[in-house]
Structure 1
């Protein structure tokens, strides 16, 4: 896997997200999205409407989309959220690329966005190929520290099989598990979202569809940001 410098931050992001004025505009856009979504309007049409209204470029629209949810979605996701003191001896299904890439973005000081549902999302995506970055090993170590501290029984890592380099990442995680005697199962699958949602295990993800459909979830990024004192650029519009 080719090593890159970091994950997720583009040269224009300070201009797009870094000022109080811009953040106020994004907050208004999210408020409008929430209103329309809560009244049953479609996400795609609503995002186009709100994006035009506030003159947001595609990257800003992506951020607004990640932060927005309907009232019923917020209540549903939060009602299924497990707290850290209830994790001991439990089995967890982790959305591998989602969790790793988000944590790599946080460690890279990229902008990440706290949604109305309390889950943090980034602007990175895999695009068919996963490239290891400087922060990859640290991200896995932080997830391992969480696994040990909360005495979790088993981690089931799920990665998209078609993504290039997923096999190498699987091997890397399996070697760490073997070395430390962690009960980690790493699987490459064609539809991780569906498998995680239907697994009846506690889901670790910020993916909206999985959160809507899984029976339980744990907000790992909220936990890591509060427990492990990570420096981050979290855009929080509360």
Structure 2
């Protein structure tokens, strides 16, 4: 029996759970946006903001994920697809990025809505992937989206070097076969580059992929808006 969750770290409530902390993080994201928009590198920008507001490592990780330059925001917005654009299309999914984010959200972890409107978490693969209690529910949400939006085929792309990537591919393939879903799984050595080169719409919240892909869809936004998910979301904006 699997008893693992992908929820909060023990320190997360103290780092993200108060209005004071969230207010400081929002100011730090605005500062990062200012620096990024003027050509400062992401690492230097996050270090400057982190030092100024005395942020902890996980807080810096959060503001890095939430920040973007003005050019990045405009570029990503110009390529964003709507739900009605997906009907009859083949879609490519950034497997670990989407699956782990869904698992984290369903586990009650803090989720961060960035300046680009994308949602990100603080979990990671760290060289190996293990299924958790929320994995099946995450796939059920993906299946509901797939059927409701009339997607013809969904291609899940996973990192070949990550341990257990083959097992999650097999698990997803069996899930899809049982439900007669036209899903495909694939292992790639460089999934980011592979997804960025697709002509089809991709689903990811990875910043590099969003900057370099042709078209993308905000699946997490769609699920939050349409599935009444009880997510713990911290929103960032320039207002």
TM-score by length of 2: 0.97
Instruction: Provide runs of 4+ in structure 1 moved above 6 Å.
Output: none
Measured in 1, the distance between the counterparts of 2:3 and 2:69 equals 37
| Correspondence for 2:139 | 140
Q: How does 1:40-51 map to 2 (within 5 A)?
A: 40-51=39-50
Q: Which residue of 1 aligns with 2:201?
A: 202
> Structure 2 vs 1, CA of residues 15 and 97 (structure 1 numbering), >3 Å: closer, same or farther?
same
1:154 counterpart residue number: 153
Per-residue CA distance 1:49-83 (angstroms, 9 max, x = gap): 11000000110000000000000000100110000
Structure-to-structure mapping, 1:170-185, within 5 angstroms:
170-185=169-184
Q: Deviations over 1:99-143 (max 9, x none)?
A: 000000000010010000000000000001101000000000100
After superposition, the C-alpha distances for 1:166-189 in whole angstroms (9 at most, x for unaligned) are 111111111111122211110011
Q: What's the counterpart of residue 94 of structure 1?
A: 93
TM-score, normalisation: structure 1: 0.98
- Cα deviation per residue 1:172-215 (whole Å; 9 max; x = unaligned)? 11111112221111001101000011011111000000000000
Q: Is the 8 A contact 1:8 1:123 kept in 2?
A: no
- Distance (whole Å) between structure 1 residues aligned to residue 51 and residue 125 of structure 2: 27
Query: What's the counterpart of residue 122 of structure 2?
Result: 123
* Residue-pair matches, total: 237
Partner deviation per Cα, 1:139-159 (whole Å, 9 max, x = no partner): 001001100000101111100
Q: CA deviation at 1:8?
A: 3.8
Per the TM alignment, residue 237 of structure 1 is displaced from its structure 2 partner at its CA by: 2.6
In 1, the alpha carbon distance for the partners of 2:168 and 2:141 equals 16
Q: Which residue of 2 aligns with 1:35?
A: 34
Structure 1 vs Structure 2 CA RMSD? 1.0
Distance 1:4 1:162 in 2: 25
Contact 1:23 / 1:237 at 8 angstroms: preserved in 2?
no
